[in-house]
Amino acid sequence: EPSCSGFVMLLGIDKQYEQLIHHNIFFSADYELEFKQIFEDKIMPDDPTIYIANTSFTDKDHAPEDGSNLFVLVNAPYLSDSYDWSDSEYGDKVIRELQNRGLSNLSEHITYRKEINPQDFYDQYLSNKGSIYGTSSNDKFSAFLRPRNKSREIEGLYFVGGSTHPGGGIPL
């Protein structure tokens, strides 16, 4: 079974939010429901956990003066018939959620916005059903069943990415 996918927004904003450091996580109020919606119902969560990388906090050259670049990630189900990405307005929902969680008037400060959804991960990278972490790690042995990093057959060939050992999601 594939792992989950992701919904990504790349945002350029003309503001610096003082509460944002380099790595930021806005947790769901109901983590169990969020996981049920993603992994069982295969729909986008109503109350998502939202990760933001704000690299301009660490390196001012990553954004114009007084601005920020934000990489926003929400866990998403892998592609199925349960959710249609062709006309999704989920990005607008994420913006509203971030405004409700303290990034006041965020929508008014966006100067650049690009969205990447599970269908895009499938179309661009042929990832299994749009997954971003390879196969699921649903038991204690599954991480060790991933393909090795170095080919036994071809000298100098190395494998990388979420489908190889140890997989995606390296802790921060």
Domain spans in the chain, listed from the N-terminal domain onward: 5-132, 134-172
Report yes or no: 120 and 131 within 8 Å, Cβ to Cβ.
no
Q: Taking 90 as the threshold, does the pLDDT of residue 2 lie above it?
A: no
Cα–Cα distance measured from residue 10 to residue 169, given in angstroms and rounded to the nearest whole number = 19
Output the CA–CA distances (angstroms, integers) from residue 96 to 37, 54, 128, in the order listed. Answer: 19, 18, 30
At residue 172, does pLDDT exceed 50?
no
pLDDT at 29: 96
pLDDT in tens, 120-158: 999 998 888 988 877 776 666 666 676 778 889 999 998
In this structure, whether the domain defined by 5-132 belongs to CATH 1.10.3470 is answered with no
Per-residue pLDDT at 160:
77
Q: Which two tokens stand for residue 65?
A: 């003066």
